[in-house]
């Protein structure tokens, strides 16, 4: 009888230990998430638009098809979109006014004078045309990968803060040396009921350039991995479930984007 009681006590203690160790506090950051370097070429498309721009409507519809993996390009999955809002023609665009300084910085950098307009890995996309934009996307997707990027992320959903780690590995010698790392938070499914052009929902909207408008200088060598850690904060007016972090390396002078990767905040 005594041995039976001891066995029961040991079982209870073991179950209690398992329960206590199985509980997690929501106050602690989540475990890091690592995305291995891309196998295929990924392409960054920086889209310049405005909530009052009527010609932008078909361009938005076109990009929506890419986001929904509609088979627009040879690999829609590898197209990463960032949208920057301008003042043309509607200078009260609330998505522009939410971050005037950094929207203006990107507009100035690319010398954007009209909408819709875009940059494909830093190169001009030309005026909107489904056939021309698709051809340029496919051409860029077919190019070899010159810079492999891995992402490691932690995020505390209580504090809405985290750290993004970028692992940058040049697979070939990069043509320029004035390279910078951009880390940008974007948000999708933003409701904009009063948009003058009638678009009620905007995706991939630049919310904040974490490494600043000019990016963070990085020195990269072929075959060597460089790690950069960048802390970030999600503002309480953004929906973290709809936020993404895009990281890319770009030459300041030539504007060429050597590599891009993206990960969800949550």
User: Which residue ranges make up each domain of the chain?
Assistant: 33-264
pLDDT by 10-residue block (mean), the chain, 266 residues = 42 38 38 54 98 98 98 97 98 98 99 97 97 98 94 96 96 96 99 96 99 98 96 98 98 98 96
Backbone φ and ψ of 45, nearest 5°: -115, 115
Distances from the Cα of 225 to the Cα of 135, 150, 248, angstroms: 32, 10, 15
Q: How far apart are CA 130 and CA 44, in angstroms?
A: 17
The DSSP secondary structure of 31-82, one letter per residue, reads PPEEEPPPSS--EEEEEEE-TT-STHHHHHHHHHHHHTT-SSSTTGGGEEEE
- pLDDT computed for residue 236 by the predictor: 96
CB 258 within 8 A of CB 146: yes
Distances from the Cα of 33 to the Cα of 21, 36, 86, 151, angstroms: 22, 10, 34, 8
CB 237 within 8 A of CB 208: no
Q: What's the sign of the alpha-carbon dihedral 167, 168, 169, 171? A: positive
CB 45 within 8 A of CB 120: yes
Which CATH code fits 33-264?
Answer: 2.60.40.10
**Which residue pairs, CB below 8 angstroms and at least 24 apart, start in 29-35?**
29/154, 29/155, 29/156, 29/162, 30/154, 30/155, 30/156, 30/157, 31/154, 32/152, 32/153, 32/154, 32/165, 33/151, 33/152, 33/153, 33/263, 34/150, 34/151, 34/152, 35/150, 35/151, 35/261, 35/263
Quote the radius of gyration of the chain (alpha carbons, Å).
Answer: 22
- pLDDT computed for residue 27 by the predictor: 37
Q: How many CA atoms, within 13 angstroms, populate the side-chain half-sphere of residue 230?
A: 24
What are the strands of the beta sheet with 33-35, ordered from one edge? 33-35, 147-156, 161-170, 226-233
- pLDDT computed for residue 145 by the predictor: 93
pTM of this structure: 0.87
- pLDDT computed for residue 104 by the predictor: 99
CB 243 within 8 A of CB 266: yes
- pLDDT computed for residue 40 by the predictor: 83
CB 235 within 8 A of CB 265: no
- pLDDT computed for residue 22 by the predictor: 36
- pLDDT computed for residue 2 by the predictor: 41
Nearest 5°: CA angle at 116, between 109 and 203?
A: 90
């Amino acid at each position: 009888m005594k041995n039976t009681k001891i066995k029961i006590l040991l079982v209870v203690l073991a179950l209690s230990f398992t329960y206590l160790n199985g509980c997690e506090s929501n106050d602690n950051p989540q475990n890091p998430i690592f995305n291995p370097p891309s196998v295929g070429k990924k392409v960054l498309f920086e889209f310049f638009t405005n909530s009052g721009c009527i010609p932008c409507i078909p361009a938005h519809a076109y990009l929506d098809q890419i986001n929904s993996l509609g088979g627009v390009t040879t690999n829609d999955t590898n197209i990463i979109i960032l949208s920057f809002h301008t003042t043309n023609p509607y200078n009260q665009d609330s998505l522009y006014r939410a971050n005037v300084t950094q929207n203006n910085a990107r507009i100035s950098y690319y010398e954007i004078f009209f909408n819709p307009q875009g940059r494909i890995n830093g190169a001009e996309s030309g005026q909107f045309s489904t056939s021309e934009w698709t051809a340029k996307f496919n051409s860029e997707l077919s190019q070899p990968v010159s810079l492999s990027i891995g992402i490691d992320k932690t995020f505390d959903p209580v504090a809405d803060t985290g750290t993004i780690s970028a692992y940058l590995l040049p697979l070939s010698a990069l043509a320029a040396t004035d390279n910078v790392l951009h880390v940008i938070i974007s948000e999708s499914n933003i409701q904009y009921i009063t948009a003058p052009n009638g678009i009620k929902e905007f995706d991939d909207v630049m919310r904040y350039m974490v490494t600043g408008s000019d990016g963070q200088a990085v020195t990269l060598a072929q075959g060597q991995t460089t790690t950069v850690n960048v802390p970030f904060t999600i503002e309480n007016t953004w929906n973290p479930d709809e936020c993404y972090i895009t990281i890319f390396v770009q030459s300041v002078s030539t504007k060429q984007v050597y590599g891009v990767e993206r990960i969800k905040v949550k």
